[in-house]
Chain A
Amino acid sequence: MITRLPERWQYRLLLWPLPILLLLCYVIPFAGIVTWSVTLPELGVDNYARLANDPSIHAVLWRTLHLCAIVGVCALLLAFLMAYCWLYSSSRWQRWVELCIFLPFFISVLVRTFGWLVALRNNGLVNSWLQDLGLIDSPLALTRNTLGVIIAMVHFMVPFAFFPLLSSMRQIDDRVLLAARGLGASRLRVFISVFLPQTLPGLLGAFIMVFVFCLGFFIIPAILGGGSTLMAAEYVFLQMFQTYNWGIGAALCVLMLVLVSGLVWLLMRFSRVERLVG
């Protein structure tokens, strides 16, 4: 039956279903969110005025940006280390590094958060190890506070930073490093003056990616933060389902999307996205 259709139509039948579905069920509903933000509870820009003036919302936003930046830097450091070791080690090492990156990557965020809850509790693994080693006398408070959230979020983000960093490192020509060694530079010097500068675009791209992913996060802060680290995404969740203040939730969503679009634009400017995924 389909073969009787003109070829132009066969082609359209392949191309359009997905974009049309996305337009209908994703893009148009987004316009609905924008409408909510200017019509609920009443017509006007009151919600945006609140975003601009309400100190409690400012506190949430600043905390979000601040936490995302810390998490971004830490995740980048760890991912850099892993990618570096992957690139210049034996294949046995490479397989171990891959396992340590892939396994957590594919495990549900809830399982990982639960794991951190178990590991970081007052009588959890980390505290009992530290006590057994005699490093601390009383357990450190690691959950239900910001530190726990940062640890778990860094853990979540390392694989996301690993892949773009690795692909940017792979484009570095080994012979340049060897040449620098041959010209008498020390290993440290080669790393700082030759290797590091070449990974800068990758580092910047990975940082923006991790930062963007962190912005919309609310599972980890909600479980490990114990209410003390209210971040933007959890704030939206509370506005929607506990205080039923949909207008302000929608306005915050629009603001987040604007911020993310800006960051993605930066990402496209400074590094070629295809290279980061490829």
Chain B
Amino acid sequence: MNIYRVGWLAKLLALITMGFLMLPLAAVIPVSFTGKRYLSMPEGDWSLRHYITLFHSSEWIGSIMNSAIVAISAALLATLLSTAFVIAVWYRNNKWTRWLIGLCMLPLIVPPVVSAMVLYFMTTNVSRIAPGLGYDSLPGVILAHTLLIVPFGVINMLVAISRVDRRIELAARNLGAGLWQTTWMVLLPNLRLSMLTTFLLCFILSWEEIAVTLFITSWEVITLPRQIWSGLRDNVDPVVGAISTLLIILTLTLLFLRMAIQGWRAAQRH
């Protein structure tokens, strides 16, 4: 790996870039501990008042609950749908299934604002038949998020299943297992951990989704990003600093969890 080395200038520039990448995250944390009512750097007056406001506000807590429900359901749906699809593609890959994979990638390629329009159209039309399932409802948001994050699920599962040894299918089939048995008893046990990492990835993506959520909700279903958005739009609410700090910590934890799972899996394989 190290036969060719990087010069000191490139290293210096890379260090500056790393500082640039971390700067906005580092800037958030001190601001959340300010003792003042408005957005400011704490000058000796460190306090937890914005965290206390956050946990006593029914709007913020409600939005966190909504986001949790949406993200867990959407990630679960996306993981199950993409796993089933990817397994089918793995069994038989041909020209048609490649077209279907392309179809599944659409929400990733299409600009978010176009997706937002499309899903606005979809949810408002569902609302005409069933108002509780479409625009500005939890099921509507869950469905929209599922569609948006499913490409990431498919990519992650495709990568995972490409590592599975094809001979295990042959072995199972030779021993008389049907398609269903092969899937349940042979393939899925091999994919359990990948499904978990897919779920985590999908969870993060849905938890953070804002562009589409802005289009398909108005005031019934306020997710956390939507609440942050309103806190940023006009006068910047310093509570945003507190929730941002908590989100950074949560993301770091999930990231380490994901790395730990991958490390454990790598260790298992050896």
Residues of A within 8 A of B (CB): 2-3, 7, 10-11, 13-15, 17-19, 21-23, 25-27, 29-30, 32-33, 36, 78, 81-82, 84-85, 88-90, 96-97, 100-104, 106-119, 123-126, 152, 155, 158, 174-175, 177-178, 187, 212-213, 215-219, 222-223, 232-233, 236-237, 240-241, 249-250, 253, 256-257, 260, 264, 277-278
Q: Mark B236-264, 1 if CB is under 8 A from A, else 0.
A: 10001100100110011011000000000
Name the prevailing secondary structure of the A interface residues: helix
Interface of chain B: mostly helix, strand, loop or mixed: helix
A249 to B117, Cβ gap below 8 A? yes
Inter-chain contacts of A17 with B (CB < 8 A): 81, 84-85
- Cα distance, A26 to B85, chains bound together (Å): 17
Q: Contacts A26-B106, A36-B121, A103-B252; is A119 near B2 (CB within 8 Å)? A: no
Q: How far is the CB of A259 from chain B (nearest CB, A)?
A: 9
Q: How far is the CB of B92 from chain A (nearest CB, A)?
A: 7
B39 interfacial by beta-carbon distance below 8 Å: yes
- Judged by a CB distance under 8 angstroms, whether B186 is at the interface is no
- Nearest chain B residue, comparing its CB with the CB of A190: B4
Instruction: Tell me the complex Cα distance, A218–B103, Å.
Output: 25
- Which residue of chain A is the closest to B126 with respect to CB atoms? A25
Contacts between the two chains (Cβ within 8 Å), count: 260
| B1-37 vs A, Cβ < 8 Å mask (1 yes, 0 no) | 1111111001101100110111111111001000000
Q: How far is the CA of A96 from the CA of B112 in the complex (A)?
A: 31
Q: Across the interface, do B118 and A33 meet the contact criterion of CB distance under 8 Å? A: yes
Which of A89, A116, A177, A216 is close to B114, meaning CB atoms less than 8 Å apart? A216
Q: Residue on A with the closest CB to B122?
A: A29
Q: Which 9 A-B pairs have the closest CB atoms?
A: A216-B111, A115-B24, A15-B88, A233-B113, A14-B88, A108-B208, A119-B27, A29-B122, A85-B14
B84 x A14 contact (CB < 8 A)? yes
Nearest Cβ distance between residue A177 and chain B, in whole angstroms?
5
Known contacts A110-B225, A260-B110; is A240 also within 8 Å of B215 by CB?
yes
B180 and A3 form a contact (CB under 8 A): yes
Question: Quick one: which of B187-215 are within 8 Å of A by CB?
Answer: 204, 207-208, 210-211, 214-215
